[in-house]
Structure 1
Amino acid sequence: MDKNHEYYVFANLHEALIQLGMEDFSIRLTEADPELSPLGDILMYFKGDLIGLIEVKKSPSTASIVRNQLKKWSQSKYKFKFYGLINDVEMSLFNENLYPMEASFYTFREVLLYIAKLMRHQDHEVSEETELIEEALSRLFHSIFKGLIDDNVLDEIIRGVKIDGEKHEVLFNESIEMQLIDCLLKTPEEGTKIYKYTALESAFLTLNHKQFLMSGIVGMNDTTEVDYVESYLFKISIEDHKKHWRRIEDLNQKFIMSCTALKDDLTMWRLYGDDFKGASFEMEILKPSSRYIIKQVHYAKRNGEDAILEVLKKVYNEILNRWGLKLIFKKIDIWKHFFKPYEYAVEREVRILYTGDETDEKLWNLTYTHQILNPFIFVKMDESLPFKIKKIYLGRKSNAFSTNEYQFQQLIRERGLHKEINVLISDIVNYR
């Protein structure tokens, strides 16, 4: 870094602060701080609180320079309300989640006035302008969700969005957040067939006891999913151990089962059907149930972009950038399980999420693959389920598949399920 240029920027920012009469603001260089100096050159304070970090570059900020700087900031343990990148040509601001704030600025005066506007909104103006912001929020929601959500439903969602001026937050009332997500994700229609691939022993236990095993959602936080949605929306991860115990308790009352739209598919057999030695349930979707959410998993595109998460990210950052308010997603730990990266799109997954209560007998185990302590429950095969087994397919790689065909049929007969479920052998003959 050219120190002369750094001092030049610092001096001009300081002079601009004086000219604008911003007594609440102050700045200092990071050069004396060995932990902060690698992250940027100038620190900004508002009423004595550290709020911003500015990196000064002599050369223009190319895409690679911006990308590398954002990566450095995202990996740091220090977090700020805003980040600035200043060079000879322009000044760019990023919010606390490292997304661009407004367009680029071309004078020190412009960037300081914008920061002042942001901080004063957060300091005292939110409560005074709540009604105006609520009206603007309504227009913002209609502009962003136009064509995605029916206008009448969207109006209902907007009525369930409230501003907490003291905390500088925008929140959804009760079930409104889940209603929003429900509108954005696809629900399989009644009569749709979905498939659950599993080991032979699991298939036997399911039919023998006439109940399904459903795993707690915390156990879904494996290496393929952990913080995917949070990282996409906020460029940060959320540490589970920092959550309040009541939030943890609520999470552990949610249970999930993964299925697919793919019938008798060799890839699914290999991944989830014990390498074609297991079984696959064909299940039919029935009428909706208030305690179950059944959704097609939404996958990102090949380039990594997720259309639905992009919309949510746009809403979040528009609210943050315009008014300095955070849009709080209280139910993100639930609906995030319906989103996955592009690489998993071949699975065409359908997930069934169940909300338990105190009447459910909750058991615990360590997940086999990732050693996560996780609750699970059994749900009975009865009229309360929004799905039912129609067929069970047996994999051909098992030496006893032909014997098990009639043995499973006998088990089903003895359990009184023979009028509902047929036992078949997979049609796939060529496999390795």
Structure 2
Amino acid sequence: MEEELLYHYTSLEALYAIISNIKPTSENEAYFTLRATHASFLNDLNDGRLLLEALKVIGINENKLWLSLDRTGYPFVLSLSELCDDLNMWRCYADQGRGVAIGLDKPILDEEYHTYSKGKLDICKYVSKGELVDILKEDGSEKIITDNNVLSLDRLIVDKLLVYKDKSFTAEREWRIHVMDTEDKFRVNPNSDLIIPFKELKIPLAALKSITLGPKCEYERNHFSLSRILSKYSQRIRIQKSLVSLT
């Protein structure tokens, strides 16, 4: 049966940190961690705001929205893509093609992340603000809000805040693991002057199926090193080279 994979684009440095810190579990299995970033620190500065703007249009008070966000926690996102070897993804998310795309088994991610308390894997839905307003009216969200149901508003925020994205990002074909939480860690982004909040997500090692080295990432020597690092684990992880031309 053909594999169903989703890809996490990142730097070579980040990949090394990930695979150098694979941990065993009590069940004699293993896992690694990926970082879900606070939504306010993603490349799209409007990420998560589309729903809030649409809710204001249909009549919800802005103060109620902020109170709901305080109750539900901070929004964290791990971005994935259906695209295995895409020029724009290499440029935007993998160190201008010097990074990697980590191929992850979608069914395993589905099984691991299917609840809002732990995190949920969802496909992104690309809409305009006007289209989202219509969706909220059609699915009954407007009635929930006008009934002043606090719990229903909180559930709406948790369920949909990080699922909707602006249509200009459609080409990225994004999926994401999203979670609301009040606990976080911090890191400094070496490419900017930001201290970034993040949350660690445990991923079963069995989900790691492939590593694609970017078009500007040296293949032969990195293939050798990665093979040596991963050789201690019994499962087969494909290491392959990008076929994209990037000069």
Q: Shorter-normalised TM-score: what interval?
A: 0.7 to 0.9
Structure 1 residue 378 displacement after superposition: 3.2
Q: Judging changes above 3 Å, is the alpha-carbon distance between structure 1 residues 382 and 356 closer, same or farther for their aligned structure 2 residues?
A: farther
The aligned amino acid for 2:178 is L
Partner secondary structure for residue 343 of structure 1: helix
Identity of aligned residues (%): 20
Structure 1 residue 376 displacement after superposition: 2.4
Partner secondary structure for residue 340 of structure 1: strand
Q: Judging changes above 3 Å, is the alpha-carbon distance between structure 1 residues 326 and 378 closer, same or farther for their aligned structure 2 residues?
A: closer
1:349 alignment partner in structure 2:
174
The aligned amino acid for 1:196 is H
Instruction: Provide the rounded CA distance (Å) in 2 between the counterparts of 1:237 and 1:373.
Output: 31
1:382 aligns with 2:197: no
Instruction: Provide the rounded CA distance (Å) in 2 between the counterparts of 1:279 and 1:353.
Output: 22
Structure 1 residue 395 displacement after superposition: 1.1
Instruction: Provide the rounded CA distance (Å) in 2 between the counterparts of 1:365 and 1:293.
Output: 23
1:197 aligns with 2:6: no
Residue by residue over 1:322-350, the C-alpha shift from the partner in whole angstroms, topping out at 9 and shown as x without a partner, is xx634552134433111101100000000
1:281 aligns with 2:97: no
1:422 aligns with 2:238: yes
Gaps of 5+ in 2: 23-31
CA contact (8 A) 1:316 1:326 kept: no
CA contact (8 A) 2:185 2:198 kept: yes
Residue by residue over 1:51-96, the C-alpha shift from the partner in whole angstroms, topping out at 9 and shown as x without a partner, is xxxxxxxxxxxxxxxxxxxxxxxxxxxxxxxxxxxxxxxxxxxxxx
The aligned amino acid for 1:284 is D
Partner secondary structure for residue 211 of structure 2: strand
- For 1:288-299, list aligned pairs within 5 A: 288-289=111-112, 290=115, 291-299=118-126
Partner secondary structure for residue 7 of structure 2: strand
CA contact (8 A) 1:198 1:272 kept: yes
CA contact (8 A) 1:227 1:237 kept: no
Instruction: Provide the rounded CA distance (Å) in 2 between the counterparts of 1:214 and 1:200.
Output: 15
The aligned amino acid for 1:234 is K
1:26 alignment partner in structure 2:
none
Q: Which of 223, 237, 243 does residue 405 from structure 1 map onto?
A: 223
1:260 alignment partner in structure 2:
81
Instruction: Provide the rounded CA distance (Å) in 1 between the counterparts of 2:55 and 2:64.
Output: 17
Residue by residue over 1:231-288, the C-alpha shift from the partner in whole angstroms, topping out at 9 and shown as x without a partner, is 12323895799648xx647514x64310001111111111111111100011112252
Instruction: Provide the rounded CA distance (Å) in 2 between the counterparts of 1:365 and 1:243.
Output: 27
Q: Judging changes above 3 Å, is the alpha-carbon distance between structure 1 residues 374 and 250 closer, same or farther for their aligned structure 2 residues?
A: farther
Gaps of 5+ in 1: 1-189
CA contact (8 A) 1:251 1:333 kept: no
- Larger Rg computed on CA atoms: 1
Structure 1 residue 223 displacement after superposition: 1.8
1:47 alignment partner in structure 2:
none
Structure 1 residue 225 displacement after superposition: 1.8
Instruction: Provide the rounded CA distance (Å) in 1 between the counterparts of 2:53 and 2:194.
Output: 21
Of 327-336 and 290-299, deviating more is 327-336
- For 1:110-129, list aligned pairs within 5 A: none
1:330 aligns with 2:145: no
Instruction: Provide the rounded CA distance (Å) in 2 between the counterparts of 1:311 and 1:331.
Output: 16
Structure 1 residue 363 displacement after superposition: 2.0
Partner secondary structure for residue 215 of structure 2: coil
2:246 alignment partner in structure 1:
431
2:27 alignment partner in structure 1:
none
Q: Which of 287, 294, 310 does residue 134 from structure 2 map onto?
A: 310
Structure 1 residue 405 displacement after superposition: 1.2
2:213 alignment partner in structure 1:
394
The aligned amino acid for 1:402 is E
The aligned amino acid for 1:229 is L
Q: Judging changes above 3 Å, is the alpha-carbon distance between structure 1 residues 316 and 424 closer, same or farther for their aligned structure 2 residues?
A: closer
Structure 1 residue 365 displacement after superposition: 3.4
Task: Give the superposed CA RMSD.
Answer: 3.5
TM-score, normalization: structure 2? 0.74
The aligned amino acid for 2:155 is K
Partner secondary structure for residue 337 of structure 1: coil
2:93 alignment partner in structure 1:
272
Residue by residue over 1:126-146, the C-alpha shift from the partner in whole angstroms, topping out at 9 and shown as x without a partner, is xxxxxxxxxxxxxxxxxxxxx
Instruction: Provide the rounded CA distance (Å) in 2 between the counterparts of 1:373 and 1:407.
Output: 31
The aligned amino acid for 2:13 is E
CA contact (8 A) 1:299 1:339 kept: yes
Aligned length: 224
